[in-house]
Amino acid sequence: MRTHGWGGAKPATDEEAIERILDAASQAIDERGGDMRIADVARSLGVSRQTVYNYFPGTNTLIEAAATRSSVRFLDRLAEHLAGMTDPVDALVESLAFTLEWLPDDKHVQLMLVHDFAKASTGVTSELGIRFGHGLLAGLDVDWASLGLTDADLDDLAEYTLRILQSFMIDPGRPPRTGEVLRAYLRRWVAPVLMAEIASHRV
């Protein structure tokens, strides 16, 4: 374990060091968004940039790790919020609304949804974005298989939900829809698509 610096409070293990680096990175993302730099993280921890590089080889790798950790925590909250909701339309609408209401205060998940870290470009269908979409659907108490939807169908549904999220991120509306207004809007336009897909598997 590398223990140079750390403001006089050295981590006991590499795991603790990684968590502290991710905590510092999360704070830097809150302050600077995707413009976070390794130097910002090193400075807040009282270590050299090389110490951070020993654990994370580059800025994109560190941002990706921090964003992934934040998204996992968010998906846990989402699953708890939607526990017991088995109707596919109710569950999908509420998952979208809950996510859209959470996103403005979570720069980490925003970054994960729009940035392809491997290609250093933006894109809602990045690997991390797709994983988030799958996590969102997996967190629902909906028996997709009993409705006839295959893994390939869920791939497409995950992409569809991500594109909806990205659209609202780019332009949330004037004024932005929230609460029951947002849910009614999503139900009006999302429900027919999902129900038509489910019906097509019952023919």
The Cα 188–Cα 203 span in angstroms is 24
* 112 plus 190 within the same structural domain: yes
Integer Cα distance of 41 and 38 in angstroms: 5
| Token code pair at residue 148 | 């006839």
pLDDT tens column, 125-158 = 667 777 778 888 877 899 999 999 988 898 889 8
- Residue 98 has what pLDDT? 94
As a whole number, mean pLDDT of residues 183-190 equals: 96
**Domain containing residue 47: CATH number:** 1.10.10.60
Asked whether residue 46 falls in the same domain as residue 124, the answer is no
Mean of pLDDT over the chain = 85
* Same-domain status, 103 and 192: yes
pTM of the model: 0.79
Tally of structural domains, the chain: 2
User: Residue 25 belongs to what H/E stretch?
Assistant: helix 14-32
Model pLDDT, residue 114: 63
- What Å distances lie between residue 132 and 61, 70, 93, CA to CA? 17, 11, 16
Q: What token pair was written down for 67?
A: 């964003």
